Amino acid sequence: MSIWEFANPARFSRLSGRIIPPAALLTGLCLAIGLIWGFFGTPDDFRQGSTVKIIYIHVPAALMAINAWLMMLVASLIWLIRRHHVSALAARAAAPVGAVMTVIALLTGAIWGQPMWGTWWEWDPRLTSFLVLFVFYLGYIALWEAVAVPDKAAALTADLCMVGSIFALMSRYAVLFWNQGLHQGASLSLDKETNVADVFYQPLLVCIAGFVLLFVTLVLVRTRTEIRARRALALMRQGVR
Amino acid sequence: MMPDLGIHAAYVLSAYAVTLTLLAGLIGLSWLRSNRVRRMLDTLEHGKQGEPYER
């Protein structure tokens, strides 16, 4: 069976209908365990005090803000190359989820920054690129709403997504090549010998898994909705009421 | 059971409150729109509550 068979809207809807209930259950479990473990079961950091508990929401949200855009980029490229409608609708479905993740990352970062840096906001490379990424999310959502012809909207938003990817990647790597900012280096990295201390690391991984699952579940639900909405629109245009 | 959050309690609690509110709003709106569109499609296809499109 080819992966492209799932580009068939009816097949996608059937498969996603089977995946969503267990994915939602797993999402709830991971988020509940991770957040309760992180909030109630970990000590204060010797430097950050209790504000270290904000990493359990800030880091996963920031991670998903960037990865949601990258997922939208892949889906947009599939649309541009193979014209699979489900991929365009999946990109559309992911945008509000990514936008909310970006808002969470910006707000929790600001709330953490006030006691730690002494400021709510700084025009730091990572913070600024994240803000620009959020504006791109808003523009992407607005463009889908503004263009009445679905295929034209998919093409235009795919182009916008490719441009916005520069800022998604910049958000991820700004701390590495732009070191004059306030923002510290990545809290987690696969190529670093040491990450945050284990006592914080383990619940953080569970929270990240919860945010990833939440993203997947919401995108599946929202993509099914977009497929139904597209079909309803087609029926209405045929005059079936 | 509530941990002692010290002088930063307001910051930590507000960060969690903002996050949980936004996530609950996102989940709720996604769910509501999903139900609304499903009902609309059912009505268009069958004129009443019937078999969903993908079944």
Write down the ipTM of this complex.
0.89
Distance (Å, whole) CA A24 – CA A26: 5
Confidence (pTM): 0.90
pLDDT tens by residue, chain A, 241 residues = 666 766 788 888 999 999 999 999 999 999 999 999 999 998 888 888 889 999 999 999 999 999 999 999 999 999 999 888 899 999 999 999 999 999 999 999 999 999 988 899 988 888 888 999 999 999 999 999 999 898 999 999 999 999 989 888 887 777 666 666 667 666 666 556 666 778 888 999 999 999 999 999 999 999 999 999 999 988 888 875 5
Question: What's the rounded mean pLDDT across residues B5-33?
Answer: 95
Contact across the interface for B37 and A229, Cβ inside 8 Å? yes
pLDDT of B14:
97
pLDDT bin (cut points 50, 70, 90) of residue B33 is very high
* Residue of A13, A40, A111 lying closest to B3 (CB–CB): A40
Closest CA to A104 of A224, A30, A207, A222: A207
Q: State the DSSP string of chain B.
A: -----GGGHHHHHHHHHHHHHHHHHHHHHHHHHHHHHHHHHHHHHHSSS---TT-
pLDDT of residue B35: 95
What is the model's pLDDT at position A176?
67
Query: Residues 1-55, chain B: which have Cβ within 8 Å of A?
Result: 1, 3-9, 11-12, 14-16, 18-19, 22-23, 25-27, 30-31, 33-34, 37-38, 40-41, 44-45, 53-55
Burial status of residue A180 (CB atoms within 10 A of its CB: 0-12, 13-18, 19 or more) = exposed
Q: How far is A228 from chain B (nearest CA, A)?
A: 7
Give the pLDDT score at A223. Answer: 96
Torsion of CA B20, B21, B24, B25, to 10 degrees: -150
> Which residue is associated with the tokens 């069958």?
B46
pLDDT of residue B55: 45
Q: Which of B5, B7, B41 has the CB atom closest to A228's CB atom?
A: B41
Cα A135 to Cα A157: distance, rounded to the nearest angstrom: 14
Contact A96 B26 (CB under 8 A): yes
Query: What pLDDT, on the 0 to 100 scale, is given for residue A62?
Result: 94
Give the residue from B30, B32, B36 with the most A CB atoms within 10 Å of its CB, the best one to mutate.
B30
* pLDDT for the residue A125: 83
Instruction: Round the average pLDDT of chain B to a whole number and report it.
Output: 86
Residue A49, token pair as written in the block: 């005090």
Neighbours of B27 (CB within 10 A): 18
Per-residue pLDDT tens digits for A179-237: 666 676 666 665 566 667 788 889 999 999 999 999 999 999 999 999 999 999 888 88
Dmax over Cα atoms in chain B, in whole Å?
Answer: 60
Cross-chain residue pair A13–B54, CB shorter than 8 Å = yes
Distance from CA of B15 to the nearest CA of A (A): 5
Strands (E) in chain A, as ranges, are: none
What was the pLDDT predicted at A200?
87
